[in-house]
Structure 1
Amino acid sequence: MTGMAQATIGDSEFDRDTAVTPREPGVHDAELPTGWSIGGAVNGGYLLALLGRGLGAHLPHPDPFTVTAHYLSVTRPGPAVIRTETVRTGRALSTGQASLVQTGADGRETERIRVLAAYGDLGSLSDDVRTTAKPPAMPPYEHCLGKEHGDSSHPLAEIAARLDIRLDPATAGWAVGEPGGRGEMRAWFGLADGRPLDPLALLLAVDALPPATFEMGLTGWVPTVELTAHIRCRPAPGPVRVAVTTRNLAGGYLEEDAEVWDSEDRLVAQSRQLAVAPRH
């Protein structure tokens, strides 16, 4: 979808920027670049992928099946430490937990995010599918709106350079000052350097789109409190379609449900998060 040479899994910006360096058993060092930030705060999907990589290096099974994250404080670009622990190891699944901490100028550690996850082998799953779920009705990739239709001063611009997001025009009215009033956001999603998507990149995809509240006319940011992602299978080659909906904004909080569909019309990932509603 891009004219540039295609990056590969293991040799891409995403892989370099989610790399973890072992310090001792269960402890990894990481450097969080500014490029995955939104308004100075590191994106929650990127953090999910980063901790997912740390757990993948720690657990005996290769693929994330379910990952639940609690976002405890704002993560900033810079050095961080990831601590991992095995909770249980079984034949089909292994469960672990991970936390990311950063050290302040006063030398005190602050925990930013804590994750509990189950890992397995997506390649060993049955191909039996019985579902009523359907992929989102969206225009083709080339008929959707890319970065050239956005505002380079928008806070999404920091992370947007790493991503190839093509918004469905039906849910992009907010980008031209005409929100549609519905809690919906749909887009094609890929990585800007053409790296193929894998389970770790799907953890990024479930929290990489603009919030559905933008299309409701609420332009403030939406901090995630808790997010649970389910990875259902490895995606087929090509960009995926991501559909995000918000049905209930009440008491200052809202939910966002995301579905990710691959080029073979398979539901490859799902997520739900609780987030703080914007104030304007």
Structure 2
Amino acid sequence: MSFDEDIALDADGNGVIAAGWETARGPHGGYVMALLAHAMERAAGRQPRSLTVHFLRPPAVGPVHASATVERAGRGMSTVTGRLEQDGKPVALGLGAFADAYGGPEVGEVPMPDVPPPSPDQPPLPGAPPFTDQLIFQPRFGAAPFSGADTSVVGGWIGFTGGRPLDGPAMCVMADGFYPAIWPRLTELHPAPTIDLTVHFRAPLPYTGPLLARFSSKLARDGYFEEDGELWTADGTLVAQSRQLALLLAA
């Protein structure tokens, strides 16, 4: 199945959580977000610029229903809410701003780190969950998970193995594509399900080719941690920024 088939929705918003996107605690959060983003983008008819999704419960592989409401359609920007349900229960709620580019000054920059380019041969990832089979996944930042490192940074090259262009829904997967940035600091597995994920889309889409992603975390407290992400195109353009709050459960 292709990614387009995995996020397909009929005219009434009916779709399927596809097999192959599993993590240790249900389907991959970025993929679930992509399904809802697809419905919301279709309703807006514009590119997402900011999209936040809250995850209420992990869905299972099987039928889902996505609905989107255009709360306001202005001349330059549309505000859309979205709801993803399974078996009559909400699993994700979204709020997004969809807009074309505005004219304005360009100030500042976020330089892309200097790292080796993606390799044509991706080495195997021992113990990786099934969803990584869908992705180019080549680490370039940070220590290995559960190695007791002194920094909370992960990332590297990420994209679709088939080279599919990266549009709004696809970017949701990329923004949640790596293992949690807090994991290298730990010495054993602690599940880390996402509570909410926000993606800011900082350049025109779609983009073809893998992205360089870097994710970092500063604090885990009371069973929660935050994670910030930056994603660049190969030519150094910052294409997206992300932030999520996630749980850090007992081992």
Over the aligned positions, Cα root-mean-square deviation in angstroms equals: 2.0
SS of 2:182's partner is helix
Counterpart CA distance in 2 for 1:39 and 1:251 is 22
1:19 aligns with 2:8: yes
Moved over 6 A (4+): none
1:134 aligns with 2:111: yes
Q: Is contact 1:34-1:40 (8 Å) kept?
A: no
1:58 shift after superposition:
1.3
Structure 1 residues 15 and 183, CA gap change in structure 2 (3 angstroms): same
Alignment of 1:95-174 (within 5 A): 95-103=79-87, 109-121=88-100, 124-126=101-103, 128-142=105-119, 146-148=122-124, 150-151=125-126, 154=127, 156-168=128-140, 170-174=141-145
**Equivalent residue number for residue 187 of structure 1:** 156
Counterpart CA distance in 2 for 1:167 and 1:200 is 22
Alignment of 1:246-261 (within 5 A): 246-261=217-232
Q: Is contact 2:215-2:229 (8 Å) kept?
A: yes
Q: Name structure 1 gaps, 5 residues minimum.
A: 1-11, 104-108
Counterpart CA distance in 2 for 1:234 and 1:17 is 23
Q: Is contact 1:51-1:98 (8 Å) kept?
A: yes
Q: Is contact 1:199-1:234 (8 Å) kept?
A: no
Alignment of 1:5-44 (within 5 A): 13-23=2-12, 28-39=13-24, 41-44=26-29
Q: Is contact 2:36-2:94 (8 Å) kept?
A: yes
TM-score (norm 1): 0.83
Q: Is contact 1:69-1:227 (8 Å) kept?
A: yes
**Equivalent residue number for residue 3 of structure 1:** none
Q: Name structure 2 gaps, 5 residues minimum.
A: none
Q: Using the aligned pairs only, state the percent identity.
A: 27
Aligned length: 249
1:265 aligns with 2:236: yes
Q: For residues 181-235 of structure 1, what are the alpha-carbon distances to aligned partners after superposition, in whole Å with 9 as ceiling and x for unaligned?
A: 3111011011011112223211211011111122112522211111111111136
1:215 aligns with 2:189: no
Query: Which of 42, 45, 58 in structure 1 is aligned with 2:43?
Result: 58
**Equivalent residue number for residue 226 of structure 1:** 196
